[in-house]
């Protein structure tokens, strides 16, 4: 089974026009006005739809970690 990286990333245009999202894993946000803790917002951060819950979003950083772990898990599974 091949793991595909998340490709549907929210555009900067969506975020600039009032669309705000929060990562369902780490809590990072797309707008500094909704950050809970200082540092939750970083300019230029991208988000993708959560593959498990279409109403949630995850940041690309968390998405990459998930994909890397899935890849490692599949490699371990193939070795057995």
- Decide if 50 contacts 57 (C-beta within 8 A): yes
The answer to whether the pTM exceeds 0.85 is: no
Is 31 within the bounds of a domain?
yes
Is 7 within the bounds of a domain?
no
Is 37 within the bounds of a domain?
yes
Is 2 within the bounds of a domain?
no
* pLDDT value for 9: 53
> What are the pLDDT digits (tens) for 55-67?
888 999 999 999 9
CA distances to 12, 14, 28, 44 from 67, in Å: 23, 25, 18, 21
Is 1 within the bounds of a domain?
no
* pLDDT value for 3: 42
Is 66 within the bounds of a domain?
yes
> What are the pLDDT digits (tens) for 22-55?
999 999 999 898 899 999 998 888 888 888 888 8
Pick from 69, 67, 31, 71: nearest CA to 50:
67
Is 47 within the bounds of a domain?
yes
Is 63 within the bounds of a domain?
yes
Residue 3 has which token pair? Answer: 């793991």
Q: Residue 1: pLDDT above 80?
A: no
Domain count, the chain: 1
The residue range of the domain holding 57 is 12-79
């Amino acid at each position: 089974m091949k793991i595909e990286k998340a490709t549907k990333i929210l555009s900067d245009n969506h975020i600039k026009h009032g669309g705000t999202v929060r990562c369902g894993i780490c809590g990072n946000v797309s707008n500094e006005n909704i950050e809970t803790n200082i540092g939750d917002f970083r300019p230029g951060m991208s988000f993708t739809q959560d593959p498990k819950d279409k109403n949630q979003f995850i940041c690309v950083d968390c998405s990459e970690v998930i994909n890397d772990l899935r890849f490692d898990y599949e490699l371990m599974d193939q070795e057995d």
